[in-house]
Amino acid sequence: MGEKTDVWQGTLALMVLKTLEMMGPQHGYGIARRIEQTSGHLLEVNYGTLYPALLKLEQEGYISSEWGVSENKRKAKYYKLTRAGQKQVEREAREWEQATAILARFLGKATSS
């Protein structure tokens, strides 16, 4: 298997929002594992960046949190997408699709116009 890489700058918030959109409420560990799983285990989520990102998303009103009990009977903070977060994930997904389409033009073979 290839070497794991850190999550790209500016993509973590979108991955968190998209994970919560697809999976419903999750605790931080579950979010990190799902991001790593979805990447085919090519990305490694650093908890030193995940939890500040979760706090920022909560302060911006895109996610909310509440305490609950995890599968292994431990107290855990669960995060869920808010209505504003749903709109934000749609907006950010559109922006990333546009940015990657532009970048793909530079990485693709040159064509004559």
pLDDT in tens, 11-35: 899 999 999 999 999 999 999 999 9
Whole-angstrom distance, CA of residue 3 vs CA of residue 55: 29
Domains of the chain, by residue range, sit at 5-107
* Segment 48-59 mean pLDDT: 95
For the entire predicted model, the pTM comes to: 0.85
Pairing of strands 75-81, 63-69: antiparallel
Whole-angstrom distance, CA of residue 17 vs CA of residue 96: 13
* pLDDT band for position 86 (cuts 50, 70, 90): very high
For residue 4, the model assigns a pLDDT of 74
Phi-psi category of 34—alpha, beta or left, where left has phi over 0 and alpha has psi -120 to 50?
alpha
For residue 108, the model assigns a pLDDT of 87
Whole-angstrom distance, CA of residue 92 vs CA of residue 47: 22
Is the pLDDT at 113 greater than 70? The verdict is no
Place of tokens 């907006």: 91
Q: Tokens standing for 88?
A: 């934000």
Average pLDDT of the chain? Answer: 91
Is the pLDDT at 9 greater than 70? The verdict is no
Q: Tell me the residue type at 20.
A: L
For residue 76, the model assigns a pLDDT of 94
- 99 three-state secondary structure: helix
Of 2.115.10.20, 3.40.50.2300, 3.40.50.1780, 1.10.10.10, the CATH number of 5-107 is: 1.10.10.10
Q: Tell me the residue type at 7.
A: V
Is the pLDDT at 89 greater than 90? The verdict is yes
